[in-house]
Chain A
Amino acid sequence: MKEFTQQLLNGLAIGSVYALVAVGYTLVFGVLRFINFAHGSVLTFAAYVSLFGMLALKLPFAVAFGGSLVVSGLFSIMVERQAYRPLRLQGAPNLNLLITSIGVSLLVENAIIVFYSADFFVFPKVLSSSTISLGGVATIPPVDLLLTGVAITLMVLLYVFVNYTKMGVAIQALAYDRDAAALMGININLAIAYTFFIAGTMASAAGVLIGMKFNVNPYLGGLFGVKSFAAAVVGGIGSIPGSYLGGYLIGILETMGAGYVSSNYKDAIAFVLLVLILLFKPSGLLGRGLQEKV
């Protein structure tokens, strides 16, 4: 029981990361109907931005974290404007957007290697390293609490934004039918920019917190990005609660799998789940079936 509780907490912490990143895949897919593979690199970018803020500019953590959320959101918008919008306005097929996004992610990764070296960086100590003991049953480090807290807070904020603000409703309308939304007077480009900004800040929160929990390196977005993508599809791509469900499901299942089955297959679990979902419920656990022309 002790081991089970600990593994559950381990799974929740890592699941929070997947959930935060997965929601970005879902949002962008919702409005543009393509998988933005550059999303994982926003996460890496954010970790470096906050690291730079703290090490080079000597900013306090809260400022560096907040700054990184804004800068990464803007970076995400810039990627959309420079790389995707020209293609979108030319009416290029979604496949072209997808390939472009892979290019963007390679560009970001390699630019970091060139300007910041490929070495591992350690985040300055912000939280105490002494862990919180839960009645001798399990331990939880402060960074995991922060991670889970941030993930849940952002989920609630996102829910409120999407359902109770004008722009949120506009984004939903856009996701439902882009042309009809445009005819109703919604500024499509603005709504898309908002979507990318939100996706970028969510990934940024994940990036900074993973950087604190582990270390910072240019490949940070790689494995976390791909697993979060699996989480988005498992939960139902296009569905915001679905991406959270998928993220926590994969986090907990792979942790339990490593703990009780075999640690050799830990990374495979996310992808086995992905294949199973695609075979038996292609729209994902909470996704609506949608008519897709590819």
Chain B
Amino acid sequence: MGFRGSSSLKAAAFALVTVMLAGVLSGCGGGSSEIKIGCFYPLTGANAAKGQFNKNGTQLAIDDINAAGGLLGKKVVPVYEDTQSKKENVPNVVRKLIEQDKAVALMGEVASSNSIAAGPVVKQLKVPAIAPTSTNPKVVMDPEDVTKLNPFYFRACFIDPLQGAVLANFVSKNLNKTKAALLYNIAQDYNKGLAQFFKERFQKNGGTIIAEETYPDQTQDFKPQLTKIKEANPEAIIIPNTYAENGLILRQAKELGINAIFLAGDASHAPKLIEIGGDGAEGVYLTTLYAPDDPDPKAQAFAKKYRDKFKEEPNSNACFSYEAMMVIGEAVKKAGKAEPQAIRDAMENVKDIEVPSGKFTMDPKTHNPLNKPVVVIQVKGNGFVFVTKVTPE
């Protein structure tokens, strides 16, 4: 027994040394012929279906950049890391990308809570990060003082106060409904924030919230909340949650015979929503960043390129990862060197670059892009159909 114990200990020590050496060597390698972009995405776990779109969109942008000669004569190489859709994994993953892989800029995450968890690390290690699709306002804010910007965090998409307002206006003006109910995940900043912003605008429009129910992470049984909402008899039910939760909510609502109109945000824009929701998903409205059937020719061109490569319909995650990568590319060109601080400074001043959803200009005062339109889509048949596009003034 003693002998076995000590030999397994030796093996473990040997393995540990090997792993550490491998880490050191890979840190040394790579060298100056490549520019490494670290991508921390949810490739497994609750947001996996979204993370895969982010990865594909990033890959498409990097292929385009390399086909056009790379950046500063160097090839761009992505380093993907999986956060497993868990907040607690984010700081380590981000640290690894910066310290071991020597990434000069970062992309990620999908969920706002997870991007917020990356905030302190990028600030401390001074490497710029851009969140392609995290819409909560706090993502680009300083983790210690939310009234100030995090100098190293940027974003490629619109923010939830805008998304919430568009959602509320759509319910009040386009659908002419005045009684709404909310059902959202109370453990996630995105869901909580979007619900709050919807509520504020909807009440300003003269609407009333007649039921507000919540649930924590990992919930699968929404029947108690939905039964209560059904009793309140709302005309519209707002579910600002992720696709996996909303799929179950929609299916269970159908089982309970709820007839109200359901509306959700960009986090539900994934085909899995329809797969999980089944018949229940039919007719749901979503606000999102991008729709492949948007009549805008630039949006259509991107959709075609994506379809040709990945044989599936792109969604907002794919498009906005593409745009975010293009923003990093532009910033590296502007900076003239692949050095994190210089890229950060240049990123603040990215102006008028052509992207699939229109023009991209970074607002240095907010670290958010200027005038990103909100797209409204609806689930019809087995897919998403473009309804309307709202451009903020």
Binding site for B on A (CB under 8 A): 2-3, 6-7, 10-11, 13-14, 113, 117-120, 122, 125, 129, 131, 133, 139, 141, 210, 214-215, 217, 219, 222-223, 254-256, 258-259, 263-264, 266-267
Contacts and interface: CB of A to CB of B under 8 A. Distances in A.
Contacts of B257: 131, 133, 139
Given A129-B279, A215-B248, A139 B215 contact: no
Contacts of B186: 264
A3 B247 contact: no
Given A129-B255, A259-B224, A117 B48 contact: yes
B279 A118 contact: no
Given A6-B256, A125-B278, A139-B255, A14 B221 contact: yes
Contact of A3 (B231, B244, B279): B231
Interface of B: 44-46, 48-49, 84-85, 186, 213-216, 218-221, 223-225, 227-228, 230-231, 244, 247-248, 251, 254-257, 272, 275-276, 278-279
Contacts of A14: 221, 223
A258 B216 CA distance: 12
Contacts of B218: 219, 222-223
24 contacts: A3-B230, A3-B231, A6-B230, A6-B256, A7-B227, A10-B224, A11-B224, A117-B44, A118-B85, A119-B49, A120-B48, A122-B272, A131-B255, A131-B256, A131-B257, A215-B247, A217-B46, A254-B224, A255-B224, A256-B224, A259-B227, A264-B186, A264-B214, A266-B224
Contacts of B48: 117-120
Nearest to A13: B223
A214 B227 contact: no
A214 B225 contact: no
| B contact face: mostly helix, strand, loop, or mixed | helix
Given A139-B256, A141-B255, A120 B224 contact: no
A120 B278 contact: no
A261 to B, nearest CB: 10
A252 to B, nearest CB: 10
A263 B84 contact: no
A267 B255 contact: no
A127 to B, nearest CB: 11
Given A223-B218, A263-B215, A129 B223 contact: no
A202 to B, nearest CB: 20
Contacts of B272: 120, 122
Nearest to B213: A263
Contacts, number: 94
Counting from the closest, the 8 A-B pairs by CB-CB distance are A118-B44, A258-B224, A214-B220, A10-B223, A141-B255, A119-B48, A255-B224, A118-B45
A215 B223 contact: no
A211 to B, nearest CB: 10
Given A117-B48, A119-B48, A133-B257, A7 B224 contact: yes
Contact of B224 (A113, A125, A215, A263): A263
A11 to B, nearest CB: 8
Contacts of A222: 218
B100 to A, nearest CB: 22
A217 to B, nearest CB: 8
Nearest to B84: A118
Nearest to A6: B227
A220 B217 CA distance: 12
Given A6-B256, A263-B214, A129 B278 contact: yes
B8 to A, nearest CB: 16
B7 to A, nearest CB: 19
Contacts of A263: 213-215, 224-225, 228
B342 to A, nearest CB: 37
A119 B42 CA distance: 10
Contacts of A133: 257
A215 B220 contact: yes
Given A259-B227, A264-B214, A119 B44 contact: yes
A219 to B, nearest CB: 7
Contacts of B247: 122, 215
Nearest to B82: A118
A73 to B, nearest CB: 25
Contact of A215 (B225, B228, B276): B276
Contacts of A129: 251, 254-255, 278-279
A198 B44 CA distance: 33
A14 B219 CA distance: 12
Given A117-B48, A258-B228, 6 more contacts: A10-B227, A120-B49, A120-B272, A122-B275, A215-B247, A264-B186
A210 B45 CA distance: 18
A262 to B, nearest CB: 8
